[in-house]
Amino acid sequence: MTAHSTAAVIGGGIAGMAAAYELKKAGFAVTVFESRDRVGGRIWTVQKGDFVMDLGTAVYLGTYREAVEMIHEVGLSDEFVETPVIFGMPRQGKQHYLDLSQPIRASITTGVISWPAKIKALRLFADVFKHRASLGYDTYDGLAEIDNETVLDYSRRVLNEELARYISAPLVSGTWVHEDHDTSVALLHWTVRNMLVKSVFNLTSGVAGLPRKLATLVDTRYQHPVTNVTDTGAGVEVTFSSPQSRGERTETFDTAVIATTAEPAVAMYPQMDENHRMLYESARYHRLGNVSMGFSARPNDPGTFSMVSPYDDPDTIAVIADHNKAPGRAPAGKGLISVLLSPSYLNRTDDKDDEYLLEHALERVEHYYGRVPGELEEWALMRWPESVPVIDKGRFKLIAEFRKKIDPTARVQFASDLDRIPGLNGGLVSGKEAAARVSRRFAGRTSAAVR
């Protein structure tokens, strides 16, 4: 197909790659500018020896409808796998499990909370059922209506201290790297509705298989950091550097989508409108540490994910048995375990090297599994300075108002997980929406040779 217009996409995370793919389908000649030597952003998969390690986003949830559709659309069906989830819930040194394929039976029989707490928990599920129409990806007015207190305040007011410590806090910490006193209760309700699913999806090549595939379908320029974007009224000038050129260069496109995290977006686009500036300048992110370790053996443990209560272990937010998460992450008989380290732990260990964090992660493996399974064969570590955008009390109200004021005719559009439920699917849908706005703006153009 001959392109009718040119489009620049700045940022090769999932939001940017989804925008680029949709724009190409709509008839644009697309160029992606990515500052790193890889695409995916906070989705990052590495191969270390025989182990496939996801150092960022861990899975595709069953509720990630748009992501799953795109996986099949771009030809990754042969890599697509579904795995049942057994949810680990440690409490004061003892591991408990929830088989999410049988959620009612598992909830009744689990020993992680007492019977009085189980009865109290019915109120949480009643509230989730009551607000279920608002707990999707498409509407934010409903989430704004219940965005009126923190998870901690809600848990203490409606539930009890036991549920606050061993249900509410681990859910928002292990899923979103959030703290219960700094998180909207609306996000807790959304999480119960969408994250406690009986199975998860993945790709045998790793979670990053999707953005990597999308990068092969459009012109993707690696190690091309963008320093400035200017809307001239007739086009968009993109100023960037590259390994091949001395100094900076500027190219002009018909349109652009900025798909980065908040700070670089504000810095590169001084013309940013007040609506976006308000959202981006008020954004906060939590840090996250991911230590993935490949062992010569695997523990005899059925759990897929263990969400750790910050009241029991403030240094750890989750332990993931990657060998149970998806086929091919580790060879037969070998184990692959990821320990996710909390923001507070990273803040205390800024002066420590990677080996120090590795030793701490190994100690956590021994703590949660009773022993280290065999010899450590491979490991990889990532300290994410920005993991998930913080959804504190009032954030959904701000997002709902922001979304009403987006200018669909702007020549420069934005894509991120800042204006919705954060994460992989949120970023992907944001990229699709940004591409749709651009496509509508240029809908009158017919295919012709692009200058």
User: Is the model more confident about 285 or about 137?
Assistant: 285
* Element housing 48 (H / E): strand 45-48
Task: Specify whether 140 is located in the same domain as 228.
Answer: no
402 with 419: CB under 8 angstroms?
yes
- What are 149-203's pLDDT values in tens digits? 999 999 999 999 999 999 999 999 999 999 999 999 999 999 998 877 788 999 9
Least Cα distance to 88 among 404, 379, 389, 320 occurs for: 320
Task: Specify whether 269 is located in the same domain as 339.
Answer: no
> CB-based contacts of 403: which residues, under 8 Å, 6+ apart?
140, 419
In a domain, residue 60? The reply is no
* CA–CA separation, 45 and 57 (whole Å): 9
Neighbouring C-alpha atoms within 13 Å toward the C-beta of 326: 22
In a domain, residue 449? The reply is no
Task: Specify whether 235 is located in the same domain as 150.
Answer: no
pLDDT at 337 over 90: yes
- What are 351-379's pLDDT values in tens digits? 999 999 999 999 999 999 999 999 999 99
Average pLDDT over residues 229-240: 98
pLDDT of residue 63: 84
In a domain, residue 238? The reply is yes
pLDDT at 301 over 80: yes
Give residue 449's pLDDT band: very low, low, confident or very high (50, 70, 90): very low
Task: Specify whether 418 is located in the same domain as 375.
Answer: no
In a domain, residue 307? The reply is yes
Task: Specify whether 135 is located in the same domain as 154.
Answer: yes
pLDDT at 67 over 80: yes
Least Cα distance to 354 among 305, 285, 293, 306 occurs for: 293
pLDDT at 410 over 90: yes
CATH of the domain at 332: 3.50.50.60
Domain C-terminal end among 384, 415, 430: 384
Task: Specify whether 356 is located in the same domain as 423.
Answer: no
- What are 21-38's pLDDT values in tens digits? 999 999 999 999 999 999
In a domain, residue 265? The reply is yes
Q: What is the pTM of this model?
A: 0.95
Q: Which domain holds residue 148?
A: 65-70+79-203+285-384
For residue 274, with 0-12 CB atoms within 10 Å meaning exposed, 13-18 middle and 19 or more buried, which class applies? exposed
pLDDT at 98 over 90: no
pLDDT at 1 over 80: no
pLDDT of residue 451: 47
pLDDT of residue 446: 66
- What are 244-275's pLDDT values in tens digits? 888 999 999 999 999 999 999 999 999 999 99
Task: Specify whether 235 is located in the same domain as 342.
Answer: no
* CA–CA separation, 155 and 185 (whole Å): 9
20 with 30: CB under 8 angstroms?
yes
Give residue 103's pLDDT band: very low, low, confident or very high (50, 70, 90): confident
At 428, list the tokens: 């992907």
* CA–CA separation, 391 and 182 (whole Å): 8
In a domain, residue 278? The reply is no
In a domain, residue 435? The reply is yes
Task: Specify whether 166 is located in the same domain as 94.
Answer: yes
> CB-based contacts of 78: which residues, under 8 Å, 6+ apart?
none
Angle at alpha carbon of residue 284, lines to 278 and 290, rounded to 5°: 150
pLDDT at 434 over 50: yes
Within a 10 A sphere around the Cβ of 328, how many other Cβ atoms? 16
For residue 102, the 8-state DSSP code is S
Task: Specify whether 110 is located in the same domain as 186.
Answer: yes
Task: Specify whether 191 is located in the same domain as 241.
Answer: no
Number of domains the chain contains: 2
259 with 431: CB under 8 angstroms?
yes
Q: Is 233 left (phi over 0), alpha (psi -120 to 50) or beta?
A: left
Q: Which residues pair with 184 in a beta bridge?
A: 150
Q: Is 223 left (phi over 0), alpha (psi -120 to 50) or beta?
A: left
DSSP structure string for 369-410: HSS--S-EEEEEEEEESS-SB---TTHHHHHHHHHHT--TT-
Task: Specify whether 260 is located in the same domain as 339.
Answer: no
In a domain, residue 252? The reply is yes
pLDDT of residue 376: 98
Task: Specify whether 190 is located in the same domain as 222.
Answer: no
DSSP structure string for 143-209: HHHT-SSBHHHHHHHHS-HHHIIIIIHHHHHHHHS--GGGSBHHHHHHHHHHTS-SEEEEETT-TTH
What average pLDDT is seen over the chain? 94
Say which residue the tokens 């989730």 belong to.
128
Q: Which residues pair with 321 in a beta bridge?
A: 337
